[in-house]
Amino acid sequence: MRILPLALICLAMYGQGFGQARTGQAWPHDGKYGFGTRHLHIRNHLPSDIYVQVLSGGSSALKSDHFKLAPGADTVYETPNEWRASRLWARTEAVQSGPSTLIEWTMGSRDWYDISLVDGYNLPVTVSPVPGTYVKNDPNDPFQCGSISCVEDLLPGCPEALQKRDGLGLVRQCLSACSRYNKDEFCCRGYYDSDSTCTPAAWDVDYPRLFKNACPTAVTYAFDDSSNTFICPSTGGAGPDYEIGFGALRTSPQPVPIASRPPVAAAHRFRARLAPGLLRYALTGLVDAPDLKIGLFSADGRSIIERPLSASAGSLPLPILPAGVYHAVLSSAGRILETLEFR
């Protein structure tokens, strides 16, 4: 049975998306690759440069590519209508190596797309088909032309065994068990090359479950396909365009150097619920935690409200919210402590 994905949200939530996706050339496009050229609207939500990498598979006319995006900048990147087994990712350093949060596509008469943490994680990512460039033939299927995301910052909570640090000692990437240990059991190879034999729940530590808890619609190991098979059909011989955001929780707490993180009490309980026009919350513990904040974010990482936590219980006023998935986020001094999901 398919599980309703964390990143699914009704199309009304995307009405304030990237301007180029709304006001640019009428779709379908005649572009660099002729009729049906796809447009990827890519934006950098981070306060630093990112370096975007593109790897094209198969016999695509588009080969490997790379470019830089400044903080807050966006660009429109063109791809062929038929774009097979291709990947796109970003890094915060031009020469950074190692695993990254991947966006994967096979584009054609029907697109298959996902966010993959199979190799590891480095940045928050959102992916959304652009409204107006596709037609859903099954409006009740959340996996058809759905939006997917991994908007949690996984670096602060990355298990020590999987951490990859830079020269200053900061965690820049969180490796998967396969990338870290390169064993058949963790990489689903050899004897473990099937969904019945590759079973992370049987490992000493179920590392994919840690990723899955934070990013339910991401692929976390080779046979993880229960809630991340997204498709979007083409219409009139042309497939959809996509909006892509890196660092999508741009107004949410950001990671800070390990050495400067304040000690935080382990025993606490964060409760919250949505009421018409209000986010009600209550917190026990963490009385001495510095710079406590509470925020509400949509499933694609857009901030609805974020405020300092001035009392252990209270409510925050909210605008009228469309139906969808939302996250209440509790943080202390730039460190995400806990998130709660609402549908």
In tens, the pLDDT along 76-103 reads: 999 989 888 899 999 998 888 889 999 9
84: CB partners within 8 A, 6+ apart: 56, 57, 58, 59, 60, 106, 107, 108
pLDDT at 208: 92
pLDDT at 325: 73
Whether 337 and 221 share a structural domain = no
Last residue of a domain, one of 195, 225, 246: 246
Name which of 119-128, 156-165, 250-259 the model is least confident about: 250-259
Decide: helix, strand or coil at residue 159: coil
pLDDT at 262: 37
- Answer for the pair 315, 277: CB distance below 8 angstroms, yes or no: no
Whether 63 and 152 share a structural domain = yes
Across the chain, which distance is largest between two alpha carbons, in Å?
60
Residue 136 covered by a domain: yes
Whether 231 and 274 share a structural domain = no
Q: What is the pTM of this model?
A: 0.66
CATH code of the domain in which 328 resides: 2.60.40.10
Range of the domain at 22: 11-156+210-246
Residue 180 covered by a domain: no
Whether 16 and 119 share a structural domain = yes
Count: domains in the chain: 2
DSSP, residue by residue, 74-100: EEEEEE-SSEEEEEEEEESSTT--S--
Using CA atoms, how far apart are residues 50 and 281, in angstroms rounded to an integer? 36
| Beta-carbon count within 10 A of 327 CB | 21
Predicted confidence (pLDDT) at residue 163 exceeds the cutoff of 80? yes
- Answer for the pair 115, 7: CB distance below 8 angstroms, yes or no: no
Residue 223 covered by a domain: yes
Whether 95 and 238 share a structural domain = yes
337 or 236, which is more confident? 236
Whether 41 and 17 share a structural domain = yes
Residue 192 covered by a domain: no
In tens, the pLDDT along 128-154 reads: 998 888 888 887 788 899 889 898 888
Residue 118 structure tokens? 């199979």
